[in-house]
Amino acid sequence: MNLLTTFEGSMMDGFLPKGWDLARIDACASHPAHAVTQRQEFWHPGFEPIACATLEDFDVMLGHEIAKTIRRTRDEGRDSALILPVGPMGMYRWAVYFLKEWGVTCDHVHGFNMDEWSDRDGRTLPSDNPGAFQNAMESAFYGPLGPLTVPKSHRNFATTHHLPEYADKIAALKAKSAELTVIFGIGRVCHIAFWEPHFAEEFASVEQWRAQTHRLGARLHPLTIEQNALTSFRSRTTLVPAFANTIGPGLFLQADRIIGGADGIFGRGMQWQGLSLWMTLRYGPNMWVPSSFMPTLPGKLFFLQGLAGPLLPEMN
């Protein structure tokens, strides 16, 4: 007896994304933990999942990878366009540490925050609101870099007026040989940024879906709202907006390289991200599972080893 055998007539019927194949999802999560890094046919030859033993290791390794990308592009004389998440966050402290240790000036960096809370019309939280992603990014990354920091004119946030400009700005940078790096986390429903799985229903083909560069006032899935209530709002669901501005696959799938992170473990055996990680690595590219496209790109996905499972019941 499980969800597959009790799904019909339950409240989960119509709640989970319509295009999800639950049997396929269950199969993704049925493997032993050591199999999580076994290469799949659809992975890019340059894609590498990297297990981290502890959260401390995860933060340092992810932060080092970001700092190394910034240093390398500077050494190559290229601009570095970074699409940036607010979640995970611990890596920014270490990116700042390494950049300061190496004395790397970041005036060649152009930051594009991938999303921001909004209302249904795309109006965002004030930038100084404690829950605003712009506030989080200024506090965790741009501010601590001090004199080495990214120029204010190079910092882009997903506001009503500026998010629609991202595609042209990134295209102009890439035309001048800039490298586009997408740094990302994976959502409970396998979103990248706030590009949700249920958006797939609007498109007749994957090609149409892949062409979408952004969305203002994106309607969030309830599981996304609850994920953020638990991870960012201390369980207070009523503080979480139900809409967000977000980039789409027309931007995050343009990446020259990706740097991903999955750290969704609470402790005492509890976690929220193991299934999402396995779906990302095993489902195969499908617009109903946005994160399933990320292994088709070159780069690294860092994850806490405990997310690999085994994903079996555990009584606490």
pLDDT in tens, 91-118: 999 999 999 999 999 999 999 999 999 9
Is 26 inside any structural domain? no
Read off the pLDDT of residues 215-226 as tens digits, 9 standing for 90 and up.
999 999 999 999
Token pair recorded at residue 195: 């590009």
Q: What CATH number is given to the structural domain containing 212?
A: 3.40.50.1360
Position 249 in a domain: yes
Q: Look at residue 315 in the predicted model and tell me its pLDDT.
A: 64
Local confidence band at 316 (pLDDT 50, 70, 90 cut-offs): low
Residue 196 lies in a domain: yes
As a whole number, mean pLDDT of residues 243-257 equals 98
Strands of 179-185's sheet in order across: 47-52, 299-304, 257-262, 179-185, 80-84, 109-113, 155-156
Q: What confidence tens digit (pLDDT) does each residue in 195-212 have?
A: 999 999 999 999 999 999
Closest CA to 51 of 231, 277, 256: 277
The mean pLDDT of the chain is 97
Arithmetic mean of pLDDT, 7-31? 97
pTM over 0.85: yes
Does a structural domain hold residue 7? no
How would residue 32 be classed by pLDDT, with cut points 50, 70 and 90?
very high
Residue 297 near residue 255 (C-beta atoms within 8 A): yes
231 located within any domain: yes
Which position has the higher pLDDT, 31 or 128?
31
Q: Identify whether 2 is part of a domain.
A: no
> What is the number of structural domains in the chain?
1
Count, residues in the chain: 316
What pLDDT is attached to residue 105? 98
Using pLDDT thresholds of 50, 70 and 90, give the confidence band for residue 314. confident
Amino acid at 90: G
* Tens of pLDDT, residues 120-151: 999 998 998 988 999 999 999 999 999 999 99
Which residue segment(s) compose the domain that 111 sits in? 49-308
Share of the chain above pLDDT 90, in %: 96
Determine the average pLDDT of the residues in 143-171.
98
- % residues pLDDT > 70 (the chain): 99
Residue 195 lies in a domain: yes
Read off the pLDDT of each residue in 188-194 and give the average, rounded to a whole number.
Answer: 98
Task: Tell whether the model's pLDDT for residue 295 goes beyond 70.
Answer: yes
Tell me which residue of 196, 247, 264 sits closest to 224, measured CA to CA. Answer: 196
DSSP-assigned letters across all residues of 192-222: BTTB-GGGGGG-SSHHHHHT--EEEEEEPPH
- Which residue matches tokens 């409970």? 188
How many other C-beta atoms can be found within 10 angstroms of the C-beta atom of residue 284? Answer: 16
212 located within any domain: yes
